[in-house]
A = this chain, B = another copy of it.
Amino acid sequence: MTEDSELDLPRGVALAWGVSADPQRGPKREMSVEKIVDAAVELADADGLGAVSMAAVAARLGYTPMSLYRYVSAKDDLIVLMQESATGLPPAAVREIDGWKERLGELFRAQIEIYLRHPWMLDIPISGSPATPNSSAWVDMTLEALEETPLDAEERLAVTLMVTGHAHWYGAVLAGYSTVGRTTGMTPAQITAREAALYDGLISPDEFPALRRAVDAGVFLSDSDPFVFGFERILDGIAAYIDALAAGGARSAGAAWAVLEDADVAADKKYREAQKTVREAEKALRDAQKHQRQALRDARDRLARHPGA
């Protein structure tokens, strides 16, 4: 029992809070956690999270792989620290902005910018609650923006979560695009065109009527931003709720749905099997069509080779 007196934080989180107790004896340290994290972030910025291996980070700093473990207890910790570093503090200028809507908008925009600069952040799986200092600062500032509203504490947190989530989702979809762009060297317009072409070939009007209509309406070629629209709707929804509160409306109960309590795995299996039947029928149909096309092509080929047959 070394009695560290700190609650057992997830190791990486503890490091992020600066709970480290630098050693007294021994040779001078040549590296530092910060240098390691910076090197890792640079690697990830350049070539994605996959490029971050302990060996690569160490090499970038001119050391051997194992040396990093004197500063970071495991790779997972390093990733938490990278996240923390890239997250940074929310822009202080937000405090000068008037109106909760505008503040939320600016915070949202700032989050998207971060994700665009560090797309690898979106590849990090959400692991419980990485309650690190910087992420706490973002939550704090978002909550502060909402203090002028009549929302209660829980509702404010719910809004915070919603904004963060929307930004995360936005970033993920956008980053998907930019990753494809970097891998294939296509411009966004080219990617869009290609996707549209793919959709065009795959979405049959029988199986996906509504989606087909959307494709025909050219939604996948549009350059308007669906996420901005979504964010506006979210703000509207919050405003409507606030108005209703002001008009003496009752607060939302916000109770968890009963359905979600027990994930009935057995039922799911049965369900998936039933679906498989449907899928198989559909596949059979597609196969039939495909075979027909293939047969036609073969016939044509043979005819071309042996015109007299």
Interface residues of A (CB under 8 A from B): 5, 7, 9, 17-19, 21, 34, 45, 85-86, 88-89, 109, 112-113, 116-117, 122-123, 125-129, 131, 133-134, 136-137, 139-141, 143-144, 147, 152-159, 161-162, 165-166, 168-170, 172-173, 175-177, 179-180, 195, 197-199, 201-203, 207-211, 213-214, 217-219, 222-230, 232-241, 252-257, 259-260, 263, 265, 268, 271-272, 275-276, 278-279, 282-283, 286-287, 290, 293-294, 297
Contact B210 A143 (CB under 8 A): yes
- Show 6 residue pairs from A and B whose CB-CB distance is below 8 angstroms, ordered by the A residue: A89-B279, A136-B211, A154-B224, A161-B226, A236-B241, A237-B237
**Min C-beta distance of A158 to chain B, whole Å:** 4
Contact (Cβ within 8 A) A143 B176: no
Closest CB in chain B relative to A38 CB, distance in Å: 9
What is the total number of copies of this protein in its complex? 2
CA distance A126 to B173 in the complex (A): 7
CA distance A109 to B202 in the complex (A): 27
B240 adjacent to A228 (CB under 8 Å): no
Partner of A241, one of B134, B233, B255, B259: B233
A129 touching B283, Cβ below 8 Å: no
Q: Which of A122, A139, A257, A282 has the most CB of B within 10 A?
A: A257
- How would you classify the secondary structure of chain A's contact residues: helix, strand, loop or mixed? helix
* A210 in contact with B144 (CB, 8 Å): yes
Do residues A177 and B256 form an inter-chain contact, with CB atoms below 8 A? no
CA distance A176 to B285 in the complex (A): 40
Nearest neighbor of A297 in chain B, beta-carbon distance: B5
Closest 3 interchain pairs by CB? A237-B237, A165-B169, A158-B226
What 13 new A-B contacts, CB under 8 Å, besides A152-B217, A226-B254, A234-B237?
A5-B297, A21-B290, A109-B260, A122-B126, A126-B172, A131-B198, A143-B213, A168-B169, A169-B169, A225-B257, A233-B234, A233-B241, A235-B237
